[in-house]
Chain A
């Protein structure tokens, strides 16, 4: 058995064991992360140049995905390449996969636990394009799989680059009349577009309806404070706040983190809104100078060790600020940039224009 097959079996076994309802020993996960990182460093020269800071393997900054191909397999073995959003090549992270089965397994098990813990299938309404319209987007790939796995029916309300408000109104109106619960899934900016476009139209969706929103704005709509948007969505669709959750994902990752409130509303007990970290993932706020875990609930920058990132690098250093809350993580957002960075922006644009 090759190293790759061996790792894949170990990761799959961990996810499957959790899916069966068994406890996953964090020590096993940590050993797997260590072994996987060592193997990846032996195959990815860029990663091998990072020096260990402390006890854990080094974490690869997400920015590196914008400038270098980070893959443990040859380019000709790519089965899918995901790109982050952005307008220039240097703004877009590139994540190549030689195999999507781990991604699929991780996505399915996490969504089943946090987004659909009470139903096998549900009517889905996507405020996002189908993967055919955005084949290089990991989000659209995931949502299309959700339609296959969890969708009793699915309506794609984002078409040809814009939200189809008539279609959205029609499908939600019919679900409202039929008292059929709906899951609305999409990007935060798409929900803002819906807010801006639906005017006075409000819905009273059936109990069991839910919302999953994800991602930032990146200039694609006006920016709305997350608390304000949560309230607006609740008011617009008649869905109680705990049933509206954020998903935290990234092009550079293969696993997703979900907010806890929906699952806790169904199975209890209710706790603070926070991100649940799947047991095959380790999420840790680290000190920016030492890159070691911060103490207690101090704010750090979020490091995510995602074992499902088998074909690239599992230890990823994001640029998001985060802190521990209870057994989960709260992401405080992307670093806003200090004054000197503000100064740099104009010049960055100038450099980018060269």
Chain B
């Protein structure tokens, strides 16, 4: 599917025409419609597993897990709570913007859900450019919204075109009051050059890390830690910005780090490669994986599984993995040592997943940091952010409301 500039303009007009009806509905009505659409979409996605698997490069069980966990969070109560919070924090006198243009990335197919439902909930029509790699799920979401309620459905549409097409990009953004861009820094920069009339909400490059404190490494807790960390690594085949690429383990020596890595492989990642198998490895990632694993093997720290690889690296030589279930394990003495590695990541850090006992200190350090804007969440939930989780250090409704 590829749209040209006149088609995109026509859809922008149609979406804008839906604004009055959308605003005429109450927040409660919109929340109810969206929640109902989420239920319908969950059912539809469950039936369309093979189709979504083809479109996303994830396996059918992974697609099923991803759509289920994402859509389960879209409930009337969570939507209303988000709307209340947005209203409270933005001030009673604020109101929705006239239209949001969204550019989606293709690495995490369910990211379209929050990008679309949050503006609709707040009364903002949305024109979405789907990633050329993944159009199927956003279309299913749009169709579910349309089938559930015509008012809601009229305020959302999807377009698709090749990135870098100046005419199409201009048509996408020219009538939007804000433009939200997910993707590479190059994509963000390209769109920024087309938007001089409206705020740009950038969601560029990013990485996440995990932190397992001493308590989580305790023998009694290690099984839970391994189960949670395995899920964070395997979810979306570690393709997303919220996927951890490094895990710091506290109070560990190289030897205990290796013991932990072996348990993570045997008790976590290996079984999960059966329940949530990895999708096919793209050749380009495979080339990186071969180099990454080869270096770890030469250093004597590689643990290789059927569809995963673990490498133990010191904090001084921490190395990002190519994703796709390849993980660097970094033993540290203290959280301060871990933050000496994390701090230079700066604004590119999206999330730190940490065990329950470590979360308060992680949050405190994030608050104190001038460079970091990421947020902390529990291990095991890195890829299932709450509906109201911040994005790039800002509330998810940032840019959608303005003073009346």
Contact = CB atoms under 8 A, between A and B. Distances in A.
Interface of A: 46-47, 49-51, 59-64, 67-68, 287-289, 291, 299-301, 317, 319-321, 334-348, 350-351, 353-354
Contacts of B281: 288-289
A274 to B, nearest CB: 18
B287 interface: yes
B291 A347 contact: no
Nearest to B240: A340
Interface stretch (B78-86, B166-174, B318-326, B379-387): B318-326
A321 B344 contact: no
B294 A60 contact: yes
B258 interface: no
Contacts of B300: 49
Given A341-B322, A342-B184, A350-B346, A51 B291 contact: no
B285 A338 contact: yes
Given A63-B292, A341-B323, 10 more contacts: A59-B294, A63-B295, A67-B295, A287-B286, A337-B288, A342-B185, A343-B107, A347-B320, A350-B348, A351-B320
B310 to A, nearest CB: 15
Contacts of A51: 297
Contacts of A342: 184-185, 205
B98 interface: no
B345 interface: yes
B341 A354 contact: yes
A46 B349 CA distance: 33
B290 A301 contact: yes
Which 7 pairs, one residue from A and one from B, show the smallest C-beta to C-beta distance? Answer: A288-B286, A61-B294, A335-B287, A340-B323, A339-B107, A335-B284, A346-B348
Contacts of B288: 319, 335, 337, 341
Contact of A299 (B283, B292, B319): B283
Contacts of B184: 339, 342
B206 interface: yes
B284 A351 contact: no
B298 to A, nearest CB: 4
Given A299-B283, A346-B205, A351 B318 contact: yes
23 contacts: A50-B298, A59-B294, A61-B291, A64-B298, A68-B298, A288-B287, A300-B283, A317-B291, A319-B288, A319-B290, A320-B287, A321-B284, A321-B287, A335-B283, A338-B282, A339-B239, A340-B245, A343-B205, A346-B185, A346-B206, A346-B345, A347-B206, A350-B345
Given A49-B297, A61-B290, A351-B344, A343 B241 contact: yes
A340 B286 CA distance: 13
Nearest to B294: A61
B106 interface: yes
Interface in B258-296: 281-295
A198 B150 CA distance: 62
A288 to B, nearest CB: 2
Nearest to B307: A289
Contacts of A341: 285, 288, 322-323
B268 to A, nearest CB: 20
A301 B294 CA distance: 13
Nearest to A48: B298
A47 B107 contact: no
A301 B283 contact: yes
Between A61, A67, A68, the greatest number of chain B beta carbons within 10 A of the residue's beta carbon is seen for: A61
Given A61-B294, A340-B239, A347 B284 contact: no
Interface in B306-355: 307, 318-320, 322-324, 341, 344-346, 348-349
Contacts of A336: 284
Nearest to A60: B294
Contacts of B243: 340
Contacts of A345: 185, 205
A46 B348 contact: no
Contact of B291 (A319, A321, A343, A344): A319
A327 B23 CA distance: 66
Interface in B203-254: 204-207, 238-241, 243, 245
A347 B298 contact: no
